[in-house]
Amino acid sequence: MSTAQSREPVFRIREQAPSETVVAGFSSFGLAGLTAVDFLVDHLELEQTGHVAADQLPSITPFEAGTPRHHSRFFSRPDLDLTVFVNELFLPAWAAGPFADALLAWTETNDVEEIAILSGVPFAHGPDEHATFYVATEDYQARRLDGVDVDPMREGFLDGVNASLMSEGMDSSLRTGLFVTPVHAQVPDVEAAIRLIDAFERVYGFDVDSGPLEAFAREVEQYYRELSTRLADVEEQHVPEDRMYM
């Protein structure tokens, strides 16, 4: 076990009044999920309401215009039953379990009933498979997906943070849905992010115009390229990266 993994990471969540529904995007290959939730924050004009601090993990402190910010942040607004979680900190597979445990404890304490994860995953696919699919607990399917035009992922298995959160969802009352779309190496994969936004709109009934997403992505492209380079450096250190296997 490496030095970075010699002690279990500790996550401290500082957000005391979340909505019943949380939508999350994480830092992973292609950054489609992260781009999608970042766009939701901008498009829905949400305000930061909390953050997550992490100990015993290789960390980053993003900054903009000379001002630092937390790498993992919650956003909401008073008139909207939605909290968006933007997580720019890469979570290696060995940290996924402790993170999911901390998040589940937080949801139980704060009466969060549902979490949806938007994720781009680099799995093999044909030209007609540029679509968004779901993997979701049965209670999430019954609540959100009946009659919705999003297809289930046929078969396979999850690992990393997606697997840990889904496992927690199966073993608790937290309704848990994962929306995945094939992602490519370009950073950010805007087309994949648009597909995730469109699926979110169909499932949750929000009126989200994904048209400005390309311009939004261009504005943050250099930042995301630098974040992607950091992810590549982590991969070179042989830290397992989040994957979904078909």
Main-chain dihedrals φ then ψ at residue 122, nearest 5 degrees: -80, 70
Sign of CA dihedral 154, 86, 46, 221: negative
| The pLDDT of residue 15 | 86
Domain ranges of the chain: 19-245
Q: What share of the chain is helix, strand, coil (3-state, %, to 5)?
A: 40, 25, 40
The pair of three-digit structure tokens given for residue 96, joined into one six-digit string: 């996924």
Whether pTM exceeds 0.95: no
| The pLDDT of residue 74 | 97
The pair of three-digit structure tokens given for residue 67, joined into one six-digit string: 């001002």
The helix-helix angle for 190-204 and 32-43 (nearest 10°) equals 60
| The pLDDT of residue 242 | 47
* Kind of pairing between the strands at 72-76 and 10-14: unpaired
* CB crowding 73-108: b at 16 or more within 10 Å, else e: bbbbeeeeebbbbbbbbbbbbbbbbbbbebbbebbe
Q: How many CB atoms lie within 10 A of CB 138?
A: 10
pLDDT < 70 regions, the chain: 1-6, 123-129, 220-224, 227-228, 230-246
Q: Where are the beta strands (DSSP E) in the chain?
A: 10-14, 21-26, 47-55, 63-64, 67-68, 72-76, 83-87, 114-121, 133-136, 151-152, 157-158, 175-182, 244-245
Q: Say whether 20 sits in a helix, a strand or coil.
A: coil
Q: How many CB atoms lie within 10 A of CB 45?
A: 9
The pair of three-digit structure tokens given for residue 190, joined into one six-digit string: 């805007």
159/155 Cα distance (integer angstroms): 14
Q: What angle do CA 111, 23, 217 make, to 5 degrees?
A: 155
Homologous superfamily of 19-245 in CATH?
PAC-like subunit (3.40.50.10900)
pLDDT digits (tens, 9 = 90+) for 67-119: 999 999 999 999 999 999 999 988 888 899 999 999 999 999 999 999 999 99
Matching residue, tokens 């950010």 = 188
| The pLDDT of residue 239 | 46
Per the CB < 8 A criterion, the answer to whether 120 and 28 are in contact is yes
| The pLDDT of residue 208 | 86
The helix-helix angle for 190-204 and 213-236 (nearest 10°) equals 110
Sign of CA dihedral 61, 178, 161, 21: positive
Per the CB < 8 A criterion, the answer to whether 230 and 60 are in contact is yes
